[in-house]
């Protein structure tokens, strides 16, 4: 018996989350626009710093923050978004741990002690657990079994998401990334046939631009479209049901504007049977006779050769008997069985008798002939 669990994966909106596994982001600005915005901000910061030179008292960072607010520039503490590129747990140390502690300390309900030492001890582990519970990452177990108290990929992705939303001013403005969302899947494993429920939450960035999200099941069946109309600036959640009939490992994918997040489903049981290849036409049956009309006439004489093929893909070669190039069709596959009438036209310019030869089939081994006489 295999244990059924649930999976929670999310992706969202700003460049700070782009390097992690689960979030995905699509920026509304082009590289040139971002460069122009950066240059403008740097110019404003330079001007603000110049104004601070004459100031006395008060920290420089505090003065910059106040002046920036007056100038309409949003200042975000860099400690809000720790860059976590490894699994952090009790006993870890380093600058990334320090940044993590600074981030956790922003919420006194999560990290009331607020110690920022760069060492991942019992207090930091407890704070991580509170944060994981608060944001529905995990709420029980141990570091070894469920990752409770460990900053692994899922927790790091969620931290990056929250940092991004904080740094971008939240989800209400609609001026950040145009797409963002997550999927919650339950169960993520079980025996075939396995029914699963997927809750897809889209537009978590609060964009008002509108987008169409696609939810695909990864088993070859049709996907589901989730449209968010332009002017709808709130997130949207929908639940979908799907049953996996056969065993295998499948990727549920939520995508929009070329960006995708996935969840893995493991189904135990026999794999899907192989698809039956299309039937091939018989080599020398179901062929109608070759007919030529007219078969006798004056010079020049235009004739039409008519014949049937078992499928439209059946190969053939027809020789007019007067030295002109043969009419041919390469044998192909994938066409449904069914009589496919064919006809070819030709004009004889020299008097005489000619034998028209038609070869049909995979090996061109079905041979028919017809005679044509051209009078003076």
> Is residue 131 scored above 50 in pLDDT?
yes
Domain-wise residue ranges, the chain: 7-45+75-84+152-268, 291-375
Poorest-pLDDT segment among 89-93, 194-198, 251-255, 276-280: 276-280
Confidence of residue 268 (pLDDT cuts 50, 70, 90): very high
HEC readout, the chain = CCCCCCEEEEECCCHHHCCCCCCCCECCCCHHHHHHHHHHHHHHHHHHHHHHCCCCCCCHHHHHHHHHHHHCCCCCCHHHCCCCCCCECCCCECHHHHHHHHHHCCCCCCCCCCCCCCECCHHHHHHHHHHHHHCCCCCCCCCCCCCCCCECHHHHHHHHHHHHHHHCCCCCCCCCCCECEEEEEECCEEECCEEEEEEEEECCCCCCCCEEEEEECCCCCCCEEEEECCCCCCCEEEEEEEEECCCEEEEEEEEECCEEEEEEEEEECCCCCCCCCCCCCCCCCCCCCCEEECCEEECCEEEEEEEEECCCCCCEEEECCCCCCCEEECCCCCCCCCCEEEEEEEEECCCEEEEEEEEECCCCCEEEEEEEEEEC
> Is residue 66 scored above 50 in pLDDT?
no
> Is residue 42 scored above 70 in pLDDT?
no
How far separated are the first and last CA of the chain, in Å rounded?
A: 89
HEC readout, 84-147 = CCCCECCCCECHHHHHHHHHHCCCCCCCCCCCCCCECCHHHHHHHHHHHHHCCCCCCCCCCCCC
Average pLDDT over residues 24-40: 48
Please tell me the class of the 291-375 domain: mainly beta
Q: State the pLDDT at residue 40.
A: 55
Confidence of residue 36 (pLDDT cuts 50, 70, 90): low
Ranges 30-44, 291-305, 325-339, most confident: 291-305
Q: State the pLDDT at residue 334.
A: 72
Question: Which is higher by pLDDT, 57 or 90?
Answer: 90
pLDDT in tens, 357-370: 999 988 888 899 99
pTM: 0.36
Percent of all residues in the chain with a pLDDT value above 90, rounded to a whole number: 31
Q: State the pLDDT at residue 10.
A: 46
CA 178, CA 207: separation in Å to the nearest integer? 5
Please tell me the class of the 7-45+75-84+152-268 domain: mainly beta
Percent of all residues in the chain with a pLDDT value above 70, rounded to a whole number: 70
Average pLDDT over residues 160-176: 48
Question: Which is higher by pLDDT, 277 or 238?
Answer: 238
Average pLDDT over residues 41-60: 49
Question: Which is higher by pLDDT, 202 or 46?
Answer: 202
Domains 7-45+75-84+152-268 and 291-375 belong to one CATH topology: yes
């Amino acid at each position: 018996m295999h244990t059924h669990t649930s999976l929670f994966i999310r992706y969202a909106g700003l460049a700070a989350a782009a390097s992690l596994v689960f979030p995905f982001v699509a920026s509304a600005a082009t590289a040139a626009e971002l460069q122009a915005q950066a240059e403008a901000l740097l110019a404003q910061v330079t001007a603000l710093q110049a104004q601070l030179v004459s100031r006395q008292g008060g920290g420089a960072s505090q003065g910059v923050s106040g002046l920036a607010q007056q100038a309409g520039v949003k200042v975000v503490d860099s400690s809000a978004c720790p860059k976590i590129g490894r699994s952090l747990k009790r006993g870890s140390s380093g600058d990334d741990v320090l940044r993590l502690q600074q981030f956790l300390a922003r919420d006194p309900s999560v990290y009331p002690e607020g110690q920022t030492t760069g060492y991942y001890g019992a207090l930091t582990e407890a704070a991580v657990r509170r944060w994981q519970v608060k944001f529905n990452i995990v709420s029980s177990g141990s570091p070894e079994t469920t990752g409770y108290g460990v900053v692994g990929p899922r927790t790091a992705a969620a931290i990056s998401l929250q940092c991004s939303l904080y740094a971008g001013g939240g989800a209400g403005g609609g001026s950040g990334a145009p797409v963002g969302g997550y999927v919650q899947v339950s169960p993520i494993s079980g025996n075939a046939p396995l029914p699963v429920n997927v809750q897809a939450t889209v537009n978590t960035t609060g964009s008002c631009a509108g987008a169409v999200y696609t939810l695909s099941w990864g088993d070859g069946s049709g996907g589901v479209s989730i449209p968010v109309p332009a002017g709808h600036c709130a997130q949207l959640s929908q639940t979908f049901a799907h049953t996996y009939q056969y065993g295998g490992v499948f990727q549920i994918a939520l995508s929009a504007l070329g960006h995708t997040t996935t969840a893995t489903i493991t189904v135990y049981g026999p794999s899907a049977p192989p698809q039956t290849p299309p039937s091939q036409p018989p080599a020398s049956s179901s062929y109608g006779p070759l007919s030529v009309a007219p078969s006798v006439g004056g010079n020049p004489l235009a004739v039409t050769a008519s014949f049937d093929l078992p499928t439209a893909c059946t190969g053939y070669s027809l020789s007019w008997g007067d030295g002109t190039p043969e009419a041919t069709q390469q044998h192909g596959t994938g066409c449904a069985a069914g009589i496919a009438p064919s006809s070819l036209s030709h004009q004889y310019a020299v008097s005489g008798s000619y034998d028209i030869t038609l070869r049909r089939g995979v090996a061109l081994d079905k041979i028919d002939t017809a005679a044509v006489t051209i009078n003076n």
